[in-house]
Chain A
């Protein structure tokens, strides 16, 4: 279980980016975080694996606090938290399977990781996961040759091979066309159930958030204004969240 308690962050004095963020998520739940640009969605997500150092609060993964962890402990937490990026953040020059195997680095000794010495079991698992995301034929292709949707699925496979408890998705479909967006969202939803993991995604597409996520958190000016099952998301709430009429997107 992932619990976030009283999370605070400000980049400039007297201009809080996040104030008192509280939520907890059970395994097998797909959570979408929505809200206007600059509301603090990315800050929340990146605080969860401490890529951004927040200013106060608690982040508990199965009871252990990430915020007070030392360097080695933090490495241990990070390998249990997969991350998927808007720009995929793959090593474009390397092959698909090498990029997937990068997800294992957190489990390896420094030397074995530096030179990319992976075990037979790890390689087998990488292939199984590539099959799961529908890219087994692309295993030896360079990532630079793939389409955006395919790259994102490599990114998802890379996070899955970490055996994560949580997957954080930072605008996973913002650079994708509608069809690829649907594929990626469906994939995330299915994997959340199949591996019984927590999946938290920042989204701008309210329609997709409502269709695929189990639960929606609405953020505005760094504060939580909504935290309910996704069917509870109403037009009035969206209007207060975005300050304007965005309800057409729902229909």
Chain B
């Protein structure tokens, strides 16, 4: 019989068992792959000191700054533009697809399907696929980021609507307000802070991802990094990475400030 005492004892054994299981899965898979975890960790200090020596921007690499920053600003703008357009599309689709504001269950299923389709194809794959149609251009990067962001934001916005807007929606429905009145007067104002918070997060994310997409599509800051890297100008590549880090951190600080004000 299940008593509190032996329930707790069994729970203890289950937890121990889980830890042992995870450990043995790691050991088994590294054995199959001939992966040497300890050796890898031991190499970390050496790798970083190599990075420190070779990627350290020097006085010479300051010359590259103007062209780096010109490209970097362009990339940030691209990331912001694609996120903004993605947000507009996502909010419309999310309203159609959420459980509280959405249409029939068929529509909801379709929206969920579309969102997960766009979300689950990796960004790199989107960029490669779109390269065929749109060639090496900013637009390819813009579109790859857009499709990915739309997938994520639809999902996030639907959950926000379901969590935050259902109570006020009910209240306005009870006053005899029509569907569009409820959406504009209750749902949108209610979810606005969370919406903006997600959009800011997506912008931060997209600035990081835009670098990667740039390497693939041959545009923006990613392309600049790629050129320096492949031509062994590691100090300039290091300068590019440093600039990206500064911008990403600055954006994060800025968006945290905005969040503080609006929430």
A-side residues, CB < 8 A to B, are: 49, 51, 75-79, 81-83, 85, 87, 89-94, 102-103, 105-108, 110, 113-116, 155, 158-159, 162
Contacts and interface: CB of A to CB of B under 8 A. Distances in A.
A85 B175 CA distance: 12
A103 B189 CA distance: 16
B193 A89 contact: no
B175 A93 contact: no
Contacts of A76: 176
A92 B192 CA distance: 11
Interface of A is mostly: mixed
Nearest to B187: A91
21 contacts: A75-B176, A75-B178, A89-B167, A89-B168, A90-B168, A91-B168, A93-B190, A102-B171, A102-B172, A102-B175, A102-B185, A103-B175, A105-B181, A105-B185, A106-B177, A113-B180, A114-B180, A114-B185, A155-B171, A158-B175, A162-B176
Contact of A108 (B181, B190, B192): B181
A56 to B, nearest CB: 22
Contact of B178 (A83, A110, A116, A159): A110
A115 B178 CA distance: 13
Contacts of B167: 85, 87, 89
A89 B181 contact: no
B175 A105 contact: yes
A102 B190 contact: no
Nearest to A112: B181
B7 interface: no
Closest 6 CB pairs of A and B: A106-B176, A79-B176, A89-B171, A105-B177, A78-B176, A113-B181
Contact of A93 (B171, B173, B184, B192): B192
A51 B176 CA distance: 11
Given A85-B171, A114-B184, A91 B189 contact: yes
Interface string B156-173: 000000000001101111
Contacts of B186: 91, 102
Contacts of A79: 175-176
Interface residues of B, number: 21
A185 B173 CA distance: 24
Interface of B: 167-168, 170-178, 180-181, 183-186, 189-190, 192-193
B181 A114 contact: yes
B170 to A, nearest CB: 6
Contacts of A92: 190
Given A78-B174, A93-B190, A162-B176, 11 more contacts: A83-B175, A89-B171, A91-B185, A93-B193, A94-B189, A102-B175, A105-B181, A107-B176, A108-B181, A110-B180, A114-B185
A83 B193 contact: no
A9 B173 CA distance: 21
Contacts of A87: 167
A158 B170 CA distance: 14
Nearest to B178: A110
Contacts of B171: 83, 85, 89-90, 102, 155, 158
Find the residue from A83, A108, A114 having the highest chain B CB count within 10 A: A114
Nearest to B184: A114
Nearest to B191: A93
A140 B23 CA distance: 59
B160 to A, nearest CB: 13
Given A51-B173, A89-B168, A102-B175, A110 B189 contact: no
B181 A83 contact: no
Contact of A78 (B175, B181, B183, B189): B175
B255 to A, nearest CB: 19
B197 to A, nearest CB: 13
A113 B168 contact: no
Nearest to B172: A102
B164 to A, nearest CB: 9
Contacts of A85: 167, 170-171
Nearest to A162: B175
A77 B174 CA distance: 10
Contact of B175 (A90, A106, A116): A106
Nearest to A83: B174
Nearest to B167: A89
Contact of A102 (B177, B183, B192): B177
Contacts of B180: 110, 113-114
Contacts of B173: 51, 78
